[in-house]
Structure 1
Amino acid sequence: MIYKSNYNIVYSCKYHIVFCPKYRRKVLVNGVDTRLKELVNSICEELHVDIIEMEIMPDYVHILLGVDPQFGIHKAVKTIKGTTSRILRQEFPWLRSQIPRLWTNSYFCSTIGGAPLSVIKQYIENQKSK
């Protein structure tokens, strides 16, 4: 297992996150998916959040993240969803007419510890082939 450290803690905090567009509409297509990946990568780099794996489906997003516990997973997800919603709705105006806001208020979050990391990573990688 690989551990990271900051000023006063050593940690390995990995989270499997899933979130969906409002009404689970299949709007993450036609370039929105590609741009969303670019934005998430950029946001996570800025926040010092590690993306271990990510897959964008037409109606949901899977991300496996490594997050500093002092920063917090909720703050990371809130920043990712808020920033991507604002930018994607500016760049793809048709999204504004499809749904009142891009993301639902909720998201799924699970810590990774019980299942081996490789199993979770493979699960996310294989989403497109289902």
Structure 2
Amino acid sequence: MPSTFSQIYIQIVFAVKNREALILPDWEDRLYEYITGIIQNKGQKLIAINGMPDHIHILIGMKPSCSISDLVREVKKSSNEFINENKLSKHKFSWQEGYGAFSYSHSHIDNVYWYIHNQKAHHKKQSFKEEYKQFLEKFKVDYDEKYLFDWILDAQKQNQSKQ
């Protein structure tokens, strides 16, 4: 019987609205478990998930029947509701619009897994803004700086320089 065979690996990256550091260590594992459940319920394979207080990385083995945009929309919508309904954040929580999606071959999966696993150590050396722009450049994604995530620290610096 004919079937569809595929091997699609996608790293998804998205940030907290205004890049605020709202994901706290005392509940980030609950968030990651919840997101894992969403991805598995959509029939996709979660390989790695980790992040920082202001953003997360997710590595997924995807089936071609799944739309990345639909999956990310569901992950963000449902996890946003989960965080707010359970009052995990002291502040109103929401994800920022947009996301990055980067594809990998099977031979790169171990490296991407460990890259995601070691996010906290990695970000001692590189900011999220530098990391994200590096992804866009590495994957040759055309972008306009004004359409990237709102960089709250940049906005604060601009406001301070105006004073």
Within-5 A mapping of 1:1-130: 8-92=3-87, 94-96=90-92, 102-113=94-105, 116-130=108-122
- Relative distance call for 1:95 and 1:69 in structure 2 (3 A) is farther
Q: Is the 8 A contact 1:64 1:121 kept in 2?
A: yes
Counterparts of 1:69 and 1:118 in 2: how far apart (Å)? 22
**If each structure's strand is expressed as a fraction of its own residues, which one has the higher value?**
1
Deviation at 1:26, TM superposition (A): 0.3
Distance 2:54 2:39 in 1: 21
Q: State the TM-score, normalized to the length of structure 2.
A: 0.67
CA distance in 2: counterparts of 1:111 and 1:49, whole angstroms: 15
The alignment's TM-score, normalised by the length of structure 1, stands at: 0.83
1: CA distance, partners of 2:86 / 2:66: 29
- Alpha-carbon distance between aligned partners in 2 of 1:60 and 1:19, rounded to the nearest angstrom: 6
Letter in 2 for 1:109: A
What stretches of structure 1 move > 4 A for 4+ residues in a row?
none
User: Which protein is bigger by CA-based radius of gyration?
Assistant: 2
**Runs of 5+ consecutive residues of structure 2 not aligned to the other structure:** 123-163
Q: Sequence identity of aligned pairs in percent?
A: 23
Tell me the C-alpha RMSD between the 2 structures: 1.9
Provide the C-alpha distance between the structure 1 equivalents of 2:76 and 2:70, rounded to a whole number of angstroms.
10
Distance 1:115 1:95 in 2: 41
Q: Tell me the alpha carbon deviations over residues 66-118 of structure 1, each in whole angstroms, 9 at most, x when there is no partner.
A: 1111112111111111100011111116231xxxx510110010011297222
1:4 alignment counterpart: none
* Structure 2 Cα separation of the partners of residues 114 and 51 of structure 1: 14
CA offset at residue 129 of structure 1? 2.0
Unpaired stretches in structure 1, ≥5 consecutive residues: 1-6
User: How many residue pairs are counted as aligned between the two chains?
Assistant: 120
